[in-house]
Structures are given as structure tokens and as C-alpha cells.
Structure 1
Amino acid sequence: MISFVRSLSALGACMISLHVAAAPSGPAVSPRVAEIVASRCALCHGPEGESASAVYPRLAAQHPDYIIKQLKDFRDGRRKSETMTDMVKDLKDDEIAGLAAYFASKKAAARQPGDVDFAGVGRFIFQRGNPYSGVPACTSCHGINGHGTQQLPRLAGQHPAYLEIQLKEFTKRERTNDNAVMHTVASKLTELETRAVAIYIGSLQ
């Protein structure tokens, strides 16, 4: 399946490479980074970091240091994903840094809040946590606007479906990196709270 996807991506690689290289904002993009974006990243995450499906994370405007860490973790086996490991297994550190800088330079598109009732519950959890179950406020690490830090991911505007998947993977310890703190937090969230906070985060800019 992966070889078939790569064959498809090769057909459009030239056009996407030209688009990437011609992007007016952000740092200069090397031909090698443009080729990697076109032939590997764009099919799932889009050439501008706006993913084609809600199950894939938005990379646009993500912190470069965080992207670097995740790609290296996939490459070196600290984070498990058959597809991602195959995509990055041959990448050098400077290529990973180039990809991180490229996607970090892209502006994240605006999203709508979705179900406003769920979003209201999510806003409460995000800003104040749940003192009855011991869930801390998400803002304590990710900031009031969900923009994170160089070490912690920008959550604002991320696909709610992707956020739900990750929170559930943390709960079950199926995500094999960044688990020390997030398992403790995610495991205390109810199903409703998980959905609500994901919808609220997805509406942030």
C-alpha cells in the first residue's frame, strides 16, 4: 500500500515541489525538503500542513522543535507508527530540521467551533480542569490560547478527531512517547470530556 501511495505521489511531486519552492512566506526551502514534502508529507498532511483528513494532524504553525522531536521519535522507534516510521526512517537530522522549519512557517487556517454546547464544556475543562476528578487545566502547559511552547505542541486549531485519538492513546499507553504526564491527565478524562475539550481546542486560533 505504501509503495502504491509513493507511486501516486511521484506523479504530482513536480507540481507540488514547484508550489512549495515558490511559497513566499517562511524560510528558504531546499530542493531536498521540497521533494520530501511533495513525495511523502503532502498526501496526508497537505503541502501547506493542512491535513487532508481529520485523522492526520495539522502541521501548519506547529513549533519546529516539537516537529523535530516527533519525527526523530518516529525514526528512532520511540513513537510507534508503521506508516510514519517508514516515511522518516532514512531522513537525516538536517532534513528533519528543514521540514520542521517549513511547516512551522505556514499559517494555520481558521476553524469553526462545531457543537457549541460541547465546546462550552471543553472550554471549562481547558481553562479550569475538573477539580472533582483531578484533571488539571490544559492551559497550565499549553497556554490560554493553546499555542504551547517550543517543547509542548501547539494545540489550537488541531483536528478534534485527531486530538481524541491521541488522548485515547495516551490513556491506554498506546502512544509510546510523551506519555509520562499525558497519561495521568488523559486517563482521568471521561468520554464526554475528551470529546468536548477536543472540539473546543479545534476552534482556537
Structure 2
Amino acid sequence: MKFKTLLALSTALAAGSALAAAPAPKADPAKGKVIVEQVCAACHGVDGNSVASTNPTLAGQSQSYLLQQLHNFKDGKRKDPIMMGMVAPLSDQDMANLAAYFSEQKVKPRDATDKTQLALGKEIYRVGVASTKVPACMSCHGPAGKGLPEKYPRLGSQHAAYIVKQLHDYKLGEMRSNAIMADIAKRMSDAEMKAVAEYISGLR
């Protein structure tokens, strides 16, 4: 009896592990492009390079990060009325296709719009702020802002205004949630956020 119980338990655990490890849908960038042209291009550009500073550039972003963000919008873990509406009708396959397409696009280099902020921004990004224990951004996002796929997103060549908005969202904890980023953002002043965002936008 004991053996049968253990066998049943081990079988259940194995089934659970198999389910948890189920592969994501095989992505098709070509099908993702069709959705982009019909839905996403107005805000993010056909090639993922956004023109408006309020909309993020998605080109060259990690496929896994993009897919996770789409799921977060759909599940309500990340809140934005426009994006939540956009992803509502998308299937898991659609989201996988979109993430694959945008990740394959080439990001267009961008320069800082306010070069007076670069000195402070560079210091924060590369060294951090010792007095408030803000860590160096590059420790996770890399010296060139290329991020670390599967872990940390690409930041280089992103709109400075968008980066500032995201830091404020982390700080308030209402639109998006991330314990590490929330703690860092709460230690930063508005001036520090603006400076580091300007520096990041020029990374490539």
C-alpha cells in the first residue's frame, strides 16, 4: 500500500513537472509581422522603432522579455489601458509570434535629447549613487545597455521619456511591479531618473 502511494505521488509530481516544463509555442516571426502591420505599427513602428517618445522601441529586445510583458499585460500584472486592450484578443501563439518578430528587428541608434544630463547619467549608470545605495544600472543591463536575455531587458537606444515614465511606475508600484526595480526607483530623485534616462537613450 505504501509503495502504491509513493508510486502515485511520484507519477503526479512527474506529470506536474512535465506540465510546468511544457515548451512555449513555436514562434513564427512572419505571422508576427502581419499582426504588427495591422495593430502594433501605429505606436511602435513596423520595424519596432517607435517615433513617439511615449511609446517604447521594441526592436532588438529580448524575445523572452517581450513575451513575458505581453503576458503580464494580458494577466493584468502590468497595467496600461491601451496595451491591456490590445493584447486581450491575442492568443499565446500570437504573442509568441510578435515577440519573435520584434526581437529580430534592428534597433536604430538614438542620441540623448538633453546632453547636459550625460555626466550625471553616466555616473549613475556605471557607478550608482553611494549615498542612497542605488546600484550601478550596468551591473544588470550591461555597459552598453544590451541587457541579459532571459533576465534583464535591453535599455540602450530607448526613449529617455519612456525610461523616466517606467522608473516612476516602479516607484509608485501601481502600473507595474518588480521588487528589485521598485526598491531602486524609490531611492532615486526625479533629477537622477532624468539624467540616467538621457544617458541610457544614447547607449548602443
- Into which bin does the TM-score normalised by the smaller protein fall? 0.7 to 0.9
Q: TM-score, normalised by structure 2?
A: 0.83
Alpha carbons 2:28, 2:97 under 8 Å: kept: no
Contact 1:135 1:189 in 2 (8 A): yes
Letter in 1 for 2:154: R
What SS does the corresponding residue of 2:163 show, helix, strand or coil? helix
- Aligned pairs for 1:19-30 (under 5 A) are 29-30=29-30
Alignment-derived partner of residue 39 in structure 1: 38
Distance in 2 separating the partners of 1:28 and 1:135: 40
Structure 1 length as normaliser, TM-score? 0.82
Q: Which residue of 2 aligns with 1:145?
A: 144
Verify the 8 A CA contact 1:43 1:52 in the aligned structure 2: no
1:74 aligns with: 73
- Structure 2: how far apart are the matches of 1:28 and 1:64? 12
In the TM superposition, residue 76 of structure 1 has moved relative to its aligned partner by 1.3
Structure 1 unaligned runs (5+)? 1-26
The equivalent of 1:60 in structure 2 is 59
1:37-73 Cα offsets, whole Å, 9 max, x none, are 0121101001000113100100000000000000011
Where 1:153 maps in the other structure, the secondary structure is coil
Unmatched runs of 5 consecutive residues or more in structure 2? 1-26
Q: CA RMSD in A?
A: 1.4
Measure how far apart 1:28 and its partner are: 6.2
Shift >4 Å, 4+ stretches: none
How many residues align? The count is 177
Distance across 1 between alignment mates of 2:154 and 2:101: 16
Q: 1:163 — aligned with what?
A: 163
Q: Deviations over 1:131-168 (max 9, x none)?
A: 01111100111111111112211000100000000001
Decide whether the 8 Å contact of 2:120 with 2:192 is kept in 1.
Answer: yes
> Alpha-carbon deviation of 1:114?
2.9
Distance 2:125 2:50 in 1: 24
Whole-Å separation in 2 of the counterparts to 1:105 and 1:33: 11
Larger radius of gyration: 2
Q: Corresponding residue for 1:189?
A: 188
SS in structure 2 at match of 1:132: helix
